[in-house]
Amino acid sequence: MFRVGVMEAIAYRAEMVVWLLSTTMPFVSLMLWSAVASEGAVVSSQGRAWTGSSFVAYFLAAFVVRQLVSSWAAWEINYEVRQGTLSLRLLRPVHPMVSFSVGHLAAIPLRMLVALPVTIALVILTWDTGLPRAPLALAMLAASVVGAWLIAFLSNVLIGALALFTEQSGKLLEVWMTCFFVFSGYLFPLELFPDWLRASVALMPFRYQMGFPVELLIGAHDEAETLALLGHQWLWVLGLLVGAWQLWRHAIRRFQAVGG
């Protein structure tokens, strides 16, 4: 399944380039915030000074993490429900959630190959400052990336499964993505939020889907803070897993293979 997924990614490489171009918003944010920082360091409510180099490292890391944790399961489920082709997945001796996930994971090597220049630039810029190199730090970074991908994938499955009740859950996906852009740290560091809003954002899943791994890449947290945030992230993973599994079990009973 993974090999087939890789071949599909290669076969539809033009489509993948379009998907990659849709994830370049961190570069736009980089130009905007670099212009702001050129007038002087931007000081967060926590007292940290964000300079031009800080924003460069942050948004390069955001682009790299975005390639690793992207998921489009909701779009695929909506399409297959409308077309009736979801029945083909249901006939296979593998749960559809597994086949969707393997297909998405198979695209990561090609996405990272395209993002390789940005990854190299990030390593060079953060080598002496925040790039994690200790074994424990690398293990926690890996765990945060895995958790971020699971949150992205499971939330997509949840939203996609709703299409089995409504025939279309694309609008809900748009609302979710809008919240993701604003509250995940994708467009700007969450540290720049005021304290009262940052506390609310910490309760949402969006930070753990994107901002948390980015913060670890630039060395924004010590080990104790990282472990606490990992605990919060994996609680979201567990909750979304249970929710997605249960919703899918009930929703799939409503599936009818109809479509154009």
Give per-residue pLDDT as tens, 215-243: 998 888 889 999 999 999 999 999 999 99
Please tell me the predicted confidence (pLDDT) of residue 204.
94
Q: Please report the pLDDT score of residue 225 as a whole number.
A: 93
From residue 181, alpha-carbon distances to 60, 161, 177, 187 in Å are: 16, 22, 6, 6
pLDDT single digits (tens) 187-222:
999 998 888 888 899 899 999 999 999 999 888 888
- Per-residue pLDDT band for 126 (boundaries 50, 70, 90) equals low
Structure tokens belonging to residue 88: 């083909």
**Where are the domains positioned within the chain?**
2-254
Report the distance separating Cα 78 and Cα 259, nearest Å: 12
| Of 64, 89, 91, 69, the residue nearest 79 (C-alpha) | 89
Residue 256, pLDDT above cutoff 60: yes
Average pLDDT over residues 94-98: 92
Give the Cα separation of 219 and 204 in Å (integer).
22
Q: What pTM did the predictor assign? A: 0.89
Tens digits of residue pLDDT in 139-176:
999 999 999 999 999 999 999 999 998 888 989 999 99
Q: For residues 212 and 183, give the distance between their C-alpha atoms in angstroms, rounded to a whole number.
A: 11
Q: What three-state secondary structure class fits 73?
A: helix
Over pLDDT 90: what percentage of the chain? 41
Q: Would you state the pLDDT for residue 122?
A: 74
Average pLDDT, the chain: 87
Task: Extract the tokens encoding 243.
Answer: 């929710």
- Using CA atoms, how far apart are residues 40 and 73, in angstroms rounded to an integer? 42
For 9, 69, 94, 219, the CA distances from 88, given in Å and listed in that order, are 20, 26, 11, 45
